[in-house]
Amino acid sequence: MQSLKHPDLFSERHIGPSESEIHYMLAQLGYESLEAMIQATVPESIRLKHPIQLPNPLHEHEVIHHLKEAAQKNLVFRSYLGMGYHGCITPPVIQRKLLENPGWYTQYTPYQAEIAQGRLEALFYFQTMICDLTGMEIANASLLDEATAAAEAMSLCYGTVGGPQRNRMLISDDCHPQTISVIRTRAKPLDIEIRVEPRKDLKPDSGTFAVLLQYPATDGLVVDPQPDIEAAQEAGALSIVATDLLAMTLLKPPGEMGADIVIGSAQRFGVPMGYGGPHAAFFACRDALKRKMPGRIVGVSRDSRGRPAYRLTLQTREQHIRREKATSNICTAQALLANMAAMYAIFHGPERLRRIGQHVHQMACLLAEGAHRGGHQLVHDSFFDTLRIALHTENADSFLQRAESMGINIRRLDRQTIGIALDETVTQQDLEDLWQLLGADPALLLDHAQGDEYGQAFPATLTRQSQFLTDKVFHAYHSETEMLRYLRRLESKDLSLTNSMIPLGSCTMKLNATIEMLAISWPEIASLHPFVPLAQAQGYQQIFSDLEQWLADITGFHSVSLQPNAGAQGEYAGLLVIKKYLESKGQQHRHICLIPQSAHGTNPASAIMAGMQVVGIRCDDQGNIDLEDLKARVTEHAHELAALMITYPSTHGVFEEKVEEICQLIHDHGGQVYLDGANMNAQVGVCRPGDYGADVCHLNLHKTFCIPHGGGGPGVGPIAVAEHLTPFLPGHSVVPLAGEDRVGPIAAAPWGSASIVTISWVYIRAMGLAGLTQATQVAILSANYIARRLDPFYRVLYRGKHGMVAHECIIDLRSFKRVSVEDVAKRLMDYGFHAPTVSWPVAGTMMIEPTESESQLELDRFCDAMIQIHGEIMTIEAGDTDPNDNLLKNAPHTADMIAAEKWSHPYSREQAGFPVEAQRDHKFWPRVGRIDNVYGDRNPVCSCAGMDAFMEQLAQQGQ
């Protein structure tokens, strides 16, 4: 019988190399089949004995149909729930040219700044926008969500003025509830005392290190925060204000009132709610605190031509350098969403933004009128967009029920009180519906609206006087034509997966297939508020439960939490779960976390946040965990051992043979094994952490499961846990999750960055077990193929048994005396490539991860470039060319460098700019020359405010 299935398989297109290319590559390595290669690479004892339970592959056309069916079970109501999530209008030009554009979403974090000027520029304007709107001096390039931003602010304040004698944080009880709960979770392991009190009772004293206020408050009240800021100052504490960007267009910003830190969410600047995320949170502070700020910061520096260029600055704060002394564990943030918000502000400009702010405020004033007419009482008459209404006779539950029957979600504040938060999507019809609900005659709305001048429902003293968004960028792109071109111009400066492979080790830059991306823009996925009743989110619940089940099967664990919105968050959550489990066994004294030296910086940073003490474990010459050292440390700390954090395959790109023995050793001494699953792309369908002895692992869905990196986020970092840890998975305070033993929430939304888990859902469903397993095999094959081709030129540093690497390989460049690994990274740009991971986990090396999605043609193109560069290096090493004026030291070469009137270099223009013949037809040009890192870090300029002085300085130096 003929198969009734469509002959086309998704996996054949997700996987880059064709059948014949796979055979060719296998032959080069001396293997008959992928299975034979896997047998030689992955230790026998840990390989899967029985296939896991995943559905069969489906044609992508059918997959998307199934997803649509599920999504349609979500009910898209109008949600006026507020709490930091608001309806908004994504300008379609931003939706199509940025959010849905692979030129933007497939970029990686801008570590290679010369080929990342577009997104760096956009993030620089994000920082400028945040500084302007909040009135602060410096802002970072996004955090994960408002609640974690508040928790990060807590840590900064504690690290600055706190200590054992000053360990109390005061929180006004009108902050968003999810913010308060995340802070509580984060405070507990650090022995920080949290006191939540009505604003009038906040009395900072010598034991207080921070005060957190929300302005406007969660229930809409707008009250001057200045007295509380001053009280904090007088007590020697720092003040944190959570705020709302749209409100800032009308209200006096906290920065003008002396606030030390201002945080919040940029979601309502054009980013869909997505049932909780992803959105960009912001974090701004006084300049004096900048070296303690969490997260990435974009600054300017100069390039080799003496021209301004953007780069990430002040990186010594971060986990990849400071490790356990880092200011935070944050790594992946929300770059794509920050860029959307920045573009929303650039597109609208200050005038249109203020008009939007006034419009929303006007709507809220009209709503207040409706409440009056309905006989209800406004609890505060000072508000921006959110009202707290004490209902006249009806109780809140019955009101909410009536609202729901009209397709409207309203917030219940208490038995008799409701909250309604309006936003830019609210129409006349919406207001009429709300009037009707409130018992006012909707027919009179228009009359009233016309009769009324624009009113203001907050004190005149709080009216914003200062200008904002004054830089020319916020005035130049208000027409759609200009915006379209601006977005395209920025995109074209950045190397993304639309240009070439991005072989960053540990980053898994695989295909983000178009079909996987479709659902994020469906209203049923994009337009849900995270706190709607579960009955309205049944589609989401089904998607979550499918995905949780699949991920549990793939990892060999019992259950999964999708809440962590990045890998580092997963680590933190997993360690808290371990801690709580140990506590439940009366083992709360166990606090030592063993971490190999080769671990990713987030590991030690997360362990510290979880209140553990980090003890390092050495690695041996082969790059494996030094078993003797591990045994010694385990014995030494046997009574305090809480956990071991390991990465598998190791960050050195090798399947360690002894992983089971290592896990057993930890268990024998009463500890738990945390597995960093960043390298899961080498394991799916081949082996499972749960089988070889781990107790919990996180996955980076933005690596292994196809969520694009977005130029530095979003991400999803779910944790999978064994049965004994299941009761302790993170809970949530606004949307209660079953179970009493859960650790507190670690992210603002119960299911984190919910909307983008649809991407992984489509991937797994379309690949099926066979496709996923083959993807793993080919990822390993491709890495070994590269290792084989490059080894004669660059030594492959670590290998496992039979000389095989896992899904990535490290090449050693330390033997070159006149050329640095940096030079090679920059020269690759001239060839149109993004460098592999540079100097991590071993300084002076490169780590290459090709993924399964690159064809053999692309792998060869990359290897050819590396080999040709090796020839260039040899000339320099032999002393045949000037050690300071050569192809590598001067790389990357920009178009204007090559077209310059004078050419005095000892190599030709062609060698510089067109090292490969094919580049005559197609060439990606780096837009700036080599960037001066030292200059940028010595003079950090992180928003438009400092640009004039910076440009003057540059001009002087140019003379």
Partner 1 sequence: MSSSIPEHLKYAKTHEWVRHEADVAWVGITDHAQAELTELVFVELPEVGKVLEAGQACAVVESVKTASDIYAPMSGEVIEVNTSLMDDPGKVNSDAFGEGWFFKLKVSDPAQMDQLLDASGYAAQVGS
Residues forming a β-bridge with 687: 47
Given the complex with ligand PLP, which of 426 and 719 has the nearer CB atom? 719
Q: Which listed residue (322, 618, 658, 818) binds partner 1 by CB under 8 A? A: 322
Q: Which listed residue (175, 408, 568, 866) binds ligand PLP by CB under 6 A? A: 568
Residues forming a β-bridge with 265: 244, 281
Given the complex with ligand PLP, which of 26 and 646 has the nearer CB atom? 646
Question: Residues in contact with ligand PLP, total (CB under 6 A)?
Answer: 15
Question: Is 938 near partner 1 (CB under 8 A)?
Answer: yes
CB of 127 to partner 1, least distance (A): 19
Question: Is 331 near ligand PLP (CB under 6 A)?
Answer: yes
Instruction: Give the Cα separation of 626 and 598 in Å (integer).
Output: 11
Q: Which listed residue (110, 710, 714, 717) binds ligand PLP by CB under 6 A? A: 717
Given the complex with ligand PLP, which of 600 and 930 has the nearer CB atom? 600
Two structure tokens written together for 292: 């303690």
- How far is C-alpha 107 from the chain's CA centre? 13
**Residue 647 binds which entry of partner 1, ligand PLP, none, with Cβ cut-offs from 5 to 8 Å by kind?**
ligand PLP
Question: Is 315 near partner 1 (CB under 8 A)?
Answer: yes
**Cβ neighbours of residue 106 closer than 8 Å, sequence gap 6 or more:** 496, 497, 498, 502, 509, 512, 708, 709
CB of 726 to ligand PLP, least distance (A): 23
CB of 356 to partner 1, least distance (A): 40
Q: Which listed residue (27, 36, 288, 321) binds partner 1 by CB under 8 A? A: 321
**Residue 291 binds which entry of ligand PLP, partner 1, none, with Cβ cut-offs from 5 to 8 Å by kind?**
partner 1
Instruction: Give the Cα separation of 78 and 61 in Å (integer).
Output: 30
CB of 567 to ligand PLP, least distance (A): 2
Q: Which listed residue (647, 650, 784, 851) binds ligand PLP by CB under 6 A? A: 647
Q: Which of residues 595-614 bind ligand PLP (CB under 6 A)?
A: 600, 602
Q: Which residues of 314-346 are buried (b: 16+ CB within 10 A; e: fewer)?
A: bbebbbeebbbebbbbbbbbbbbbbbbbbbbbb
| From 525-533, 565-573, 797-805, 860-868, span contacting ligand PLP (CB under 6 A) | 565-573
Instruction: Give the Cα separation of 156 and 328 in Å (integer).
Output: 9
Instruction: Give the Cα separation of 575 and 854 in Å (integer).
Output: 35
Backbone torsion region of residue 842, taken as left when φ is above 0, otherwise alpha when ψ lies between -120 and 50, otherwise beta: beta
**Residue 542 binds which entry of partner 1, ligand PLP, none, with Cβ cut-offs from 5 to 8 Å by kind?**
none
CB of 497 to ligand PLP, least distance (A): 17
CB of 601 to ligand PLP, least distance (A): 8
**Count of alpha carbons within 13 Å of 757, Cβ hemisphere only?**
31
**Residue 651 binds which entry of partner 1, ligand PLP, none, with Cβ cut-offs from 5 to 8 Å by kind?**
ligand PLP
Instruction: Give the Cα separation of 599 and 492 in Å (integer).
Output: 35
Given the complex with ligand PLP, which of 332 and 683 has the nearer CB atom? 332
Q: Which listed residue (559, 597, 937, 950) binds partner 1 by CB under 8 A? A: 937
Given the complex with ligand PLP, which of 131 and 806 has the nearer CB atom? 806
Instruction: Give the Cα separation of 642 and 651 in Å (integer).
Output: 22
Question: Is 332 near ligand PLP (CB under 6 A)?
Answer: yes
Given the complex with ligand PLP, which of 445 and 663 has the nearer CB atom? 663
Binding mask 856-895 for ligand PLP (x = CB under 6 A): ----------------------------------------
Q: Which helix (H) or strand (E) holds 78?
A: strand 78-80
**Residue 57 binds which entry of ligand PLP, partner 1, none, with Cβ cut-offs from 5 to 8 Å by kind?**
none
CB of 653 to ligand PLP, least distance (A): 11
Question: Is 325 near partner 1 (CB under 8 A)?
Answer: yes
CB of 934 to partner 1, least distance (A): 5
Two structure tokens written together for 671: 């500890």
Given the complex with ligand PLP, which of 753 and 894 has the nearer CB atom? 753
C-beta separation of 146 from 281 below 8 A: yes
Question: Is 808 near ligand PLP (CB under 6 A)?
Answer: no
Given the complex with ligand PLP, which of 202 and 509 has the nearer CB atom? 509
Residue 655 CB-density burial (10 A; 0-12 exposed, 13-18 middle, 19+ buried): buried
Given the complex with partner 1, which of 307 and 322 has the nearer CB atom? 322
Contacts 24+ apart (CB under 8 A), 866-875: 866/790, 866/793, 866/794, 866/828, 867/789, 867/790, 867/793, 868/831, 868/915, 868/916, 869/824, 869/827, 869/828, 869/831, 870/793, 870/794, 872/827, 873/816, 873/819, 873/824
Omega within 30 of 0 (cis) for the link into 91 = no
C-beta separation of 33 from 789 below 8 A: no
**Cβ neighbours of residue 62 closer than 8 Å, sequence gap 6 or more:** none
Question: Is 678 near ligand PLP (CB under 6 A)?
Answer: yes
- How far is C-alpha 207 from the chain's CA centre? 34
Backbone torsion region of residue 254, taken as left when φ is above 0, otherwise alpha when ψ lies between -120 and 50, otherwise beta: alpha
Q: Which helix (H) or strand (E) holds 410?
A: strand 408-414
Q: What is the dihedral of CA 109, 697, 182, 263, to 10 degrees?
A: 0
Two structure tokens written together for 658: 């002894």
| From 321-329, 500-508, 637-645, 673-681, span contacting partner 1 (CB under 8 A) | 321-329
Taking CB atoms, the residue at the shortest distance from ligand PLP is: 567
**Residue 602 binds which entry of ligand PLP, partner 1, none, with Cβ cut-offs from 5 to 8 Å by kind?**
ligand PLP
Q: Which of residues 820-839 bind partner 1 (CB under 8 A)?
A: 839
Amino acid, single-letter form, for residue 511? L
Question: End-to-end CA distance of the chain, in Å?
Answer: 81
**Residue 700 binds which entry of ligand PLP, partner 1, none, with Cβ cut-offs from 5 to 8 Å by kind?**
ligand PLP
Given the complex with partner 1, which of 316 and 514 has the nearer CB atom? 316
Q: Which of residues 687-706 bind ligand PLP (CB under 6 A)?
A: 700
Q: How many helices (H) and strands (E) would you count in the chain?
A: 32, 25
Q: Which listed residue (715, 750, 832, 892) binds ligand PLP by CB under 6 A? A: 715
Q: Which of residues 506-545 bind ligand PLP (CB under 6 A)?
A: 506
Two structure tokens written together for 669: 């001494």
**Cβ neighbours of residue 707 closer than 8 Å, sequence gap 6 or more:** 512, 701, 714, 715, 716, 756, 759, 760
**Residue 392 binds which entry of partner 1, ligand PLP, none, with Cβ cut-offs from 5 to 8 Å by kind?**
none
CB of 651 to ligand PLP, least distance (A): 5
Two structure tokens written together for 350: 């200050």
Given the complex with partner 1, which of 111 and 763 has the nearer CB atom? 111
**Residue 585 binds which entry of partner 1, ligand PLP, none, with Cβ cut-offs from 5 to 8 Å by kind?**
none
CB of 191 to partner 1, least distance (A): 22
Question: Is 316 near partner 1 (CB under 8 A)?
Answer: yes
Q: Count CB neighbours of 585 within 10 A.
A: 10
CB of 149 to partner 1, least distance (A): 23
Helix/strand/coil (H, E, C) string of 580-592? HHHHHCCCCCCCE
Question: Is 160 near partner 1 (CB under 8 A)?
Answer: no
Name the packing angle between helices 117-134 and 335-373 (round to 10°): 30
Question: Is 291 near partner 1 (CB under 8 A)?
Answer: yes
Given the complex with partner 1, which of 303 and 695 has the nearer CB atom? 303
Which residues of this chain interact with ligand PLP, rule CB under 6 A? 331-332, 506, 566-568, 600, 602, 647, 651, 676, 678, 700, 715, 717
Which residues of this chain interact with partner 1, rule CB under 8 A? 291, 315-316, 321-322, 325, 839, 933-934, 937-938
